Amino acid sequence: MISMTKPSAVAPAVDLADEAAYLDAVAHARKAADAYYGSGESGLDDDDYDRLLRGITAWEGAHPGQIADDSPSRQVGGGVTTGDVEHAVRMLSLGNVFSDEELTAWAASLERRLDGEAVAGWAVEPKLDGVALAARYREGRLVQLVTRGDGTTGEDVSHAVEDITGLPAALAEPVTIEVRGEVLMTEAQFAAANETRTAHGATAFANRRNASSGSLRAKDRAYRVEQTFLAYAALTDAEHTSDPTLAALTHTQLIARLAALGLGTTAGTPVATRACATLEQVAERVREIGALRAELDFELDGAVIKADHPADQERAGTGSRTPHWATAFKFPAAQKITVLRAVEWSVGRTGVIAPRAVLDPVEVAGTTITYATLHNPADIARRGLMLGDHVIVYRAGEVIPRVEGAVAGLRTGDEQPIAFPEVCPRCGADIDRSQERWRCARGRACGQVEAIRYAVARDALDIDGLGEKIIVQLVDKGMIEDFADLFTLTRDQLLTLDRMGDRSADNLMAAVAAAKAKPLNRVFCALGVLGTGRSMSLRIAAHFGSMQAVRDADAVALEQVDGIGGEKAPVIVAELADLAPLVDKLVAAGVNMDQPGFVPPAPADADADGGAGTTAPDAGSGLPLAGMTVVVTGGMTGLLADRSRTEMTELITAAGGRASSSVSARTHLVVAGEKAGSKREKAEALGIEIITPEELAERLAGLLG
């Protein structure tokens, strides 16, 4: 019997009680490895497979005389053989560590192999989550692609070469070389692959690795799927390359050399291979890669630490399965397998009908997930999801968890189709199915009360005292159709409402009057335009300065606003056209339509370098946060204690900064209040300046009234 030990952050091993449990675990691991390294679709997610393998290794350490011949701990790729092309030099797996303590112990073991001498230097790079591949070039021309297989032999997949970016047909120089790396799908490539696949009547891929593995081996498909190759090694000895200089390069220099030859690498990304002088720097870089994980368009499941210098690598040598001079620091799993139990349908304030997955609770990236995004009915159909399916749930950083796809190999036949609504789940009206996002045919009228509640909430018009019960009465009595009608209500009308006294009516009339003077960003947010919210509303208001300018803008003009792309801009234009009568009513009621302190945006070419990364703040503007991207997290204290998130965003904007909801390499400043949590940790890992709310108040003293 196999029983799990208590979970921890260090991937606890499966507890194996006896030899029978051990042999059962070996068989289970080999079956999972066969699926993982073969089809790419395994019944175990990475985290559970790691725990199982650690349990096997622990049992074998305690019982060295009873190790099974087919134990996956002794074999590359779990012992799976998928081809008959022999590797010139074995393609090995990597050992794993799961904590700083294990990393320190591994580094100490490496130094012992070097006769007690310190490692000359380290290299740290991402552990890419794809399919290992060897690319063979002869005199600069690509001649063969081979999968890792069992490390000794692999499968020839040269037929896929035209579908892989990062593997040029000809290198920049006529070099004979074998390059090794990972084939994977970016987020955009995965979306395109599933769209193409389902258009041809096939089931959507469950996840990116499944998609990469299956697509790499497919020969007779009627469609093609693009993938990406990122190199992480090359054979540098004289027997396997025509470039004698490669053997003397450090690993960091080798990756730079491969990039110069035209091969795909992580160079130019935030997680590019980096040299580190000390183990402390290694640990810091590992944390940086972990913090950046959610922002990348390719998946990784850890960081790889290597002895950087070839002399150290040669002296350390290799084992039967792994090199002694490299290891992987595994991160908590960003995706897990669980069961889809139900689908709930809700209707938003704009009439959009949205599905939500109800799941068996599962811990993903440190958070217990019970619900996940399903996007829309078309997405459900594309992925071929059914109730009872084992599904892959993905969550990285602060991204809302989503269902990636079903693990078709785990289906039992008892799964049931997902029932789509025939009529609007809220009001029973017809459904507009003309687009992927279904909407109630009544549109915003279906969510009338919800739309008004949204408009008067604290982040929008902030009309205190106007709760749902009052809104329902106003709607039911025909006093208001939308929130613009609030500004024409009379005191006598309010006094006809249940439990509305003189004082309450006076207070509510005062709150409504105060809302007329709110800045444009609050008014725009109150409109509830699809694809916008409090932050986007502020960006739009700050960019255009007046409601009339926003209404006059076409899609091209809207695309100039940070965060609005080619898909969102036309939607906003169409939404504003639909909302024109409501905006006209607001204007007639005397509601403010301008943004205080409006400053025309800088020319589009102001950032002359055009590159990625953090733009230097504009200290010359005189504003305390000029040009800075600022993230506010945790509870505010001191002079800022009563400020809402929207008010904090407005304050940052008034100070010349740009408020952001997520920490990244582009962030300049993090304001960390009480219980700041993961955003503070990420800022620390990235070396970003962190201040308290009190320190921010000091910087902005001139703007605080």
Active site residues: 127
Is the distance from CB of 401 to CB of 394 less than 8 angstroms?
yes
Is the distance from CB of 228 to CB of 264 less than 8 angstroms?
yes
Is the distance from CB of 235 to CB of 178 less than 8 angstroms?
yes
Sign of CA dihedral 201, 206, 211, 215: negative
How many Å apart are CA 341 and CA 186, to the nearest integer? 29
How many Å apart are CA 13 and CA 194, to the nearest integer? 35
Is the distance from CB of 336 to CB of 45 less than 8 angstroms?
yes
Structure-block tokens of residue 416: 């049931």
Please list the alpha-helical segments (H only) found in 419-467. Answer: 448-456
Structure-block tokens of residue 23: 């042999």
Please list the alpha-helical segments (H only) found in 395-490. Answer: 448-456, 468-476
Residue keyed to tokens 């297989």: 149
Q: Which helix (H) or strand (E) holds 594?
A: none
How many Å apart are CA 560 and CA 149, to the nearest integer? 48
Beta strand ranges found along 628-668 (DSSP E): 629-633, 658-660
Q: How many residues does the chain have?
A: 705
How many Å apart are CA 356 and CA 403, to the nearest integer? 10
Is the distance from CB of 104 to CB of 283 less than 8 angstroms?
no
Is the distance from CB of 43 to CB of 390 less than 8 angstroms?
yes
Which residues face 337 on adjacent strands? 392
How many Å apart are CA 259 and CA 181, to the nearest integer? 12
Q: Which residues contact 448 (CB under 8 A, 6 or more apart)?
A: 475, 481, 482
Q: What are the angstrom distances between the C-alpha of 398 and each of 15, 179, 297, 664? A: 32, 35, 15, 12
> 472: exposed, middle or buried (C-beta count within 10 Å: 0-12, 13-18, 19+)?
middle
Please list the alpha-helical segments (H only) found in 38-157. Answer: 46-62, 100-113
Angle at 23 between CA 20 and CA 29, to 5 degrees: 140
